[in-house]
Structure 1
Amino acid sequence: MASTIATIERELVEGGLVRRKKANADGPSEGAFLACSCWMAECRKLQGRDREAREQFERLLAVANDLGLFAEEYNVPARNLAGNFPQALTHLSVVNAALALSGPTLRRGGKGFRE
């Protein structure tokens, strides 16, 4: 898993966001797939790379529009949202990543589990 994450970081990250596949050298490419960027934040958190996970998540949050909505993709060179808009998968991924980065489920809110 760590090797896969390292390969993704090396080959698919553009401007701090993660693509689904390598950019086309000879033509148009899809943008960074925002759900993948959320998943990368979660993977980094699971690896104990908390600072990098938070930075990844904050980079993603920075591309939301003025209403806090996300598209399917982000065109890094053009600096704009692209693809289907609004994109439910991206929003679900944002919520899941936020929960993952906020701490263990049983400890959120400063309270432990009670039977």
Structure 2
Amino acid sequence: MDIPALRKQLKIKAGATARLKKELEHYQKELVDQKVKKNKLIADGAEQWDITNAGKMEDESEKMIKDATARVAKSFGELRDLVVSAKKEPALAQDEDFLKAEGILEEMAL
């Protein structure tokens, strides 16, 4: 395989995977915040419309988590496959983009 092209793909996939992971974490935090907000509305005796709206926002966050999880899993798999291919190239053993991609995989596997 063309080493410059492989290096470029490693950089792209590693960046995309890291970004998607960050996006997923954002949606997970947002869901927690929405649940807290909804529970506070209920505890404060807010109007039913406000409580219902907060519930819809919570549902939307859950949908986004499901979508983001699928996208992270797909990106992770693609990055993993690319790293496996790159390991066959001795010239990339100490390459910065390769090491970064491996680091992202290790971090996400925890």
Alignment TM-score, normalising by the size of structure 2: 0.41
Alignment TM-score, normalising by the size of structure 1: 0.39
Q: Larger relative CO (CA 8 A, sep 6+): 1 or 2?
A: 2
Bigger Rg, which one: 2
Higher helix share: 2
